[in-house]
């Protein structure tokens, strides 16, 4: 099949090009897209699979927080496997006509929407977990049990499933409608088989004949699964920052320098993680929602076509939003796991093995501060935590445990 768009009637050719654009992208667009998407796919798949393996293989990590991380990793794996390869294929193949069945078109749209909603809801649950542990530590044991974590995870997936169902009904294989000037002509049969649409213009998208439903669905997703979660996350993390800052002031006169330095270091780590969460959430999801809003509010008719500059801008926004969307799945293992010292230690023991892990850690730690990737038992780890519990809770302390009133339980997971 050729990349050239050419019909026997020039007015139809011009109309198709003005509305759908070229069939094939230039090499200057395709090559960087393939490299970026392939890198994101491999890193995201590797990182999330390792996250699942590490959490399952280490019983010490079977806690509410890591349950959320495991669920988030599963969601990201599904999004990467079901979404990115098709995105990559469509980048190097023809933009239209659509080569797959309508069932595949609907299923992919539904599953991507489903996992997107689930990821955001799980991030909200995870943020709530950290907010509760930091701001209301004495209630942590009540609200952070494994049972409650499982219930919230199941609820998040169930709500996401229900909310994503409309996407399966509104998405279909569309055809570009035949312009009025080309209808009921002697040559109409050369460009259309049904007299209403143009042959060879099939594309998978929301039903173009129902613009009101499109707008309702996109605005609903933007409001419920972006604006509201973003506001909630900002409020919770702002409260966390205030809480940590006030705790620092209240306790600075009561503790020696060593304890204060340890707590300051822990607080900086927490704030760094929280800032990363908020920034990543906005950066990765805002372009995605902007692109969707633009797509449903852009005029799409046979009398008003899109100018080439607007087409180029739309293409740029489309690729940027896709990169940011999938990069979020690849970044989650880094933001929520790799920055955790406990995860690094567990990853070292589980994935690399003790011998390689010890060599890696020894070569990257400062003298006197080397941390071995040991194969110590859970009992040994508990003993190490017990030795410092009179001063502060170790970074490895589970958020679900009931803390003493004077202890910090907010700095690690």
- Rg of the Cα atoms in the chain: 26
Does residue 398 have a pLDDT over 50?
no
Determine the structural domain holding residue 92 and report its residue range.
10-340
Choice among 168-182, 183-197, 214-228 with the minimum mean pLDDT:
183-197
Is residue 36 one of the residues assigned to a domain? yes
Q: Is residue 364 part of a domain?
A: no
- Give residue 74's pLDDT: 93
Distance from the Cα of residue 2 to its chain's centroid? 36
* Model pLDDT for residues 227-250, shown as the tens digit of each residue: 999 899 889 888 888 877 776 555
Residue 410 in domain:
no
Average pLDDT taken over every residue of the chain: 73
pTM of the model: 0.75
* 101 DSSP 8-state letter: -
Residue 399 falls within a domain, yes or no?
A: no
pLDDT in tens, 3-51: 666 666 677 777 777 767 677 677 777 888 888 888 999 999 998 998 8
| Per-residue confidence (pLDDT) for residue 118, from 0 to 100 | 92
**Are the C-beta atoms of 392 and 259 separated by less than 8 Å?**
yes
Q: What pLDDT, on a 0 to 100 scale, did the predictor assign at position 228?
A: 93
Q: How many domains does one find in the chain?
A: 1
pLDDT band at 117 (very low <50, low <70, confident <90, very high): very high
Domain assignment present for residue 20? The answer is yes
Cα dihedral 156, 159, 165, 167 in deg (nearest 10): -70
Is residue 377 in a domain? Answer: no
Residue 329 lies in a domain: yes
Q: With cut-offs at 50, 70 and 90, classify the pLDDT of residue 214.
A: confident
First to last CA, the chain: 54
In a domain, 314, yes or no: yes
Helices (H), 171-307: 211-222, 228-251, 257-297
> CATH code at 216?
1.20.1070.10
Question: The tokens of 378 are what?
Answer: 């859970």
Contacts of 163 (CB under 8 A, 6+ apart): 117, 221, 224, 225
Q: In the prediction, which pLDDT does 390 show?
A: 36
Tokens (6 digits) for 168: 């399966």
């Amino acid at each position: 099949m050729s990349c050239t768009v050419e019909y026997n009637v020039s007015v139809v050719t011009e109309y198709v090009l003005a509305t759908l654009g070229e069939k094939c992208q230039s090499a200057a667009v395709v090559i960087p897209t393939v490299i970026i998407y392939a890198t994101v796919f491999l890193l995201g798949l590797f990182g999330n699979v390792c996250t699942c393996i590490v959490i399952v293989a280490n019983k010490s990590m079977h806690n509410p927080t890591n349950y959320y991380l495991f669920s988030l990793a599963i969601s990201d794996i599904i999004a990467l496997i079901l979404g990115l390869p098709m995105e990559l294929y469509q980048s190097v193949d023809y933009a239209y006509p659509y080569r797959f069945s309508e069932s595949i078109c609907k299923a992919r749209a539904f599953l991507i929407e489903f996992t997107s909603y689930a990821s955001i809801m799980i991030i909200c649950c995870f943020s709530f977990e950290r907010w509760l542990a930091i701001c209301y530590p004495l209630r942590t044991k009540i609200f952070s049990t494994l049972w409650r974590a499982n219930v919230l995870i199941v609820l998040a997936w169930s709500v996401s499933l229900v909310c994503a169902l409309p996407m399966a009904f509104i998405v279909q294989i569309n055809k570009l409608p035949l312009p009025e000037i080309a209808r009921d002509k002697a040559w109409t049969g050369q460009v259309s088989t049904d007299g209403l649409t143009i042959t060879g213009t099939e594309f998978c998208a929301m039903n173009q004949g129902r613009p009101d439903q499109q707008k309702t669905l996109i605005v609903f997703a933007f409001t419920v699964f972006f604006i509201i979660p973003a506001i909630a996350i900002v409020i919770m993390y702002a409260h966390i920052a205030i809480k940590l800052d006030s705790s620092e002031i209240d306790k600075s006169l009561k503790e020696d320098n060593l304890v204060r330095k340890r707590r300051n270091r822990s607080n900086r780590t927490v704030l760094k993680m929280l800032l990363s969460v908020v920034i990543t959430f906005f950066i990765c999801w805002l372009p995605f929602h902007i692109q969707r809003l633009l797509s449903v509010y852009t005029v799409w008719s046979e009398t008003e076509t899109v100018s080439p500059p607007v087409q180029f801008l739309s293409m740029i926004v489309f690729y940027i939003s896709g990169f940011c969307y999938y990069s979020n799945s690849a970044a989650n293992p880094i933001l929520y796991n790799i920055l955790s010292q406990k995860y690094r230690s567990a990853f070292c023991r589980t994935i690399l093995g003790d011998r390689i892990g010890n060599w890696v850690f020894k070569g990257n730690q400062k003298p006197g501060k080397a941390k071995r990737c040991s194969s110590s038992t859970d009992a040994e780890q508990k003993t190490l935590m017990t030795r410092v519990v009179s001063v502060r809770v170790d970074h490895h302390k589970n958020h679900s445990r009931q803390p003493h009133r004077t202890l910090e339980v907010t700095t690690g997971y």
